[in-house]
Structure 1
């Protein structure tokens, strides 16, 4: 191995160790943590990976770039990565290779014998994390602060969690004392996963409702049922397709929020966030404002939603700050 290659591998080791050290104080508080976030933690080849720790098993996410021979991590880099994780007492890891375009294949073993799934704790919340036969572990780590906020604020609320995925925000609201939580998602498998997470936490099924269906079908239906919620949660994907057509956060934010406001109680709380580098904060705020005015509602900002310290960003790189949103309180 030449001097340049050695220098590169030394740099990789340094970046991994530095990121780990920055998170030292967090390990005792959770079994689920993003321990490396390449876009903010790396200046080199590791900028295209993220590493998440679930007890002593790991997920590695690799964002492939382009179509050429350098689109993926090389064997030497992967070897260094494996050695680093083993030095931290990792028992196994899977890797998900996410192409620049299209749908990734399912995660595959990087080393060790990954379990099918394990139950992990993030503070008071427990969730099932999957490693095999899946494209995602089942927990969006960048919403950890929002789960904590719901744990502290959801008492006695009637909550509607839309685009709920595996329902971690529903669980947080339930554990926070919500009187009832409705969980809505278009995917039946992930909705089943959400119900498993609800039951894992010992929450009562009679204080919940799990709806498999399309947001733009069900929100008008809930309105016709004269349902009003103390809290409505919106965390849509960048795009999705149902039998009714294609949804895009870039184009459909106004009608998305109008539907939510139709079922939000007076003085209710609207939690809205998007995970998109291509929608600016000003565009997002403008569209939410248009929806509010069309429904003659006014809001105050209780808190902003942004990436936590485990998802660092670089100065001068606004696209790395993809997570944006607010917790909004209706003024009546």
Structure 2
């Protein structure tokens, strides 16, 4: 059993945690022992020592841990995790019964009561992601609870708390069936090849499911579509299946080429009829402008932060510049799908980035659709800041 240590809150943070805020901020603690072992259970108390909640110590971004329960008698054991998993799976019961979608999130961190932990379902395989050494210390208990809760083919894991944000290559297999990757999952009838044991990512970002459907169903037919920061080309696949005249996928990573070819191929799309470019997105903007290329639809889904030999890019600082350059190669009355997963700002702030970019280019626009996390990515309604995904589908008005 993990050690239990008392953590006294500063007075101005008591109400917030008492009312259900799940993240334990470093500045909320009166004192914190820097030598405290991650995974230590925390008895969170008021300045007068009165109990508020139980949590665990685990450094993650701006927090030092997460609240688990406000019931002082509740044990943080296998039964605790089992109940949380059961409750979460019941919420997703309808997803298990959708024939044309076989990959989705079944447990979404603090939204389901355990911050720092997510579980994704891939056609019978369960992928558990640990976001701190603290939650990883409960690893064996979590695996045992999951096996008691779900019928599964196999379990894989991702440790997302390695040094300097880098993912250290490891064997992510835990137990059960050994996957023969790639496996083909379905998403709204589209096929995607995924690999649960090949680095930090799987080949598909499940949180963009609704946006890919919107692109396929409403914004692709007969259009030329540019997909920037394209990764494995999932948006390009959606556009092609939606009847796009041609797609162009641009990503700096060399692996994007074979992986994008693979995604087209598993959907029966002739990849040779599509454009796939391995290059810096901003270099491609310059190339497209020089060659007077225009696209009916431009998808912008950059990483929150990226660094190359030539430049650094941060969505919190550089998104207006990104939209501005995209506008130069967007056709009249074209569409820009602007997306970010940066949790450091909200949708309102994101819209100011959009407005700034259009004003600088003297362009008028309207937002046709807004998207945030899909239904399976359960969030706490009282704390929308944990709804990190922000997508605006924008139409140019001239």
TM-score, with normalisation over the residues of structure 1?
Answer: 0.91
- Select the residue among 116, 136, 140 that pairs with 2:205: 140
Greater helix proportion: 1
- TM-superposed deviation, 1:76: 4.4
Counting only pairs closer than 5 Å after superposition, residues 228-307 of structure 1 correspond to structure 2 as 228-307=294-373
- TM-superposed deviation, 1:8: 3.7
Output the CA distance in 2 between the equivalents of 1:7 and 1:220: 55
- 2:244 partner SS: coil
| Alignment partner, residue 56 of structure 1 | 124
Output the CA distance in 2 between the equivalents of 1:242 and 1:76: 39
Matched-pair contact (CA < 8 Å) for 2:78–2:145: no
Matched-pair contact (CA < 8 Å) for 1:164–1:183: yes
- TM-superposed deviation, 1:320: 0.7
Output the CA distance in 2 between the equivalents of 1:71 and 1:5: 17
Matched-pair contact (CA < 8 Å) for 2:223–2:246: yes
| Alignment partner, residue 38 of structure 1 | 109
- TM-superposed deviation, 1:11: 2.5
- TM-superposed deviation, 1:206: 4.1
Counting only pairs closer than 5 Å after superposition, residues 119-158 of structure 1 correspond to structure 2 as 119-153=184-218, 154-158=220-224
| Alignment partner, residue 91 of structure 1 | 153
- TM-superposed deviation, 1:125: 1.1
Counting only pairs closer than 5 Å after superposition, residues 169-248 of structure 1 correspond to structure 2 as 169-248=235-314
Output the CA distance in 2 between the equivalents of 1:266 and 1:151: 20
Structure 1: tracts of 5 or more residues without a match: none
- 1:51-91 per-residue CA deviation (whole Å, 9 max, x = no partner) reads 111111121111115xxxx352324423334424xx53211
Matched-pair contact (CA < 8 Å) for 2:82–2:146: no
Output the CA distance in 1 between the equivalents of 2:76 and 2:245: 57
| Alignment partner, residue 54 of structure 2 | none
| Alignment partner, residue 104 of structure 1 | 167
Report whether the alignment pairs 1:11 with 2:73.
Answer: no
Output the CA distance in 2 between the equivalents of 1:75 and 1:89: 19
The structure showing larger relative contact order (alpha-carbon pairs under 8 Å, at least 6 residues apart) is: 1
- 1:84-109 per-residue CA deviation (whole Å, 9 max, x = no partner) reads 4xx53211111001117521223511
Aligned length: 323
- 1:126 partner SS: strand
Output the CA distance in 1 between the equivalents of 2:321 and 2:307: 16
Moved over 4 A (4+): 1-7
- 1:193 partner SS: helix
- TM-superposed deviation, 1:200: 1.3
Matched-pair contact (CA < 8 Å) for 1:158–1:178: yes
- Select the residue among 79, 96, 101 that pairs with 2:143: 79
Matched-pair contact (CA < 8 Å) for 1:93–1:114: no
Output the CA distance in 1 between the equivalents of 2:140 and 2:119: 17
Output the CA distance in 2 between the equivalents of 1:73 and 1:304: 38
- TM-superposed deviation, 1:4: 6.3
Matched-pair contact (CA < 8 Å) for 2:256–2:278: no
Q: Which has the larger radius of gyration?
A: 2
Output the CA distance in 2 between the equivalents of 1:115 and 1:93: 13
Output the CA distance in 1 between the equivalents of 2:136 and 2:73: 19
- 2:321 partner SS: helix
TM-score, with normalisation over the residues of structure 2?
Answer: 0.77
Output the CA distance in 2 between the equivalents of 1:165 and 1:328: 22
- 2:85 partner SS: helix
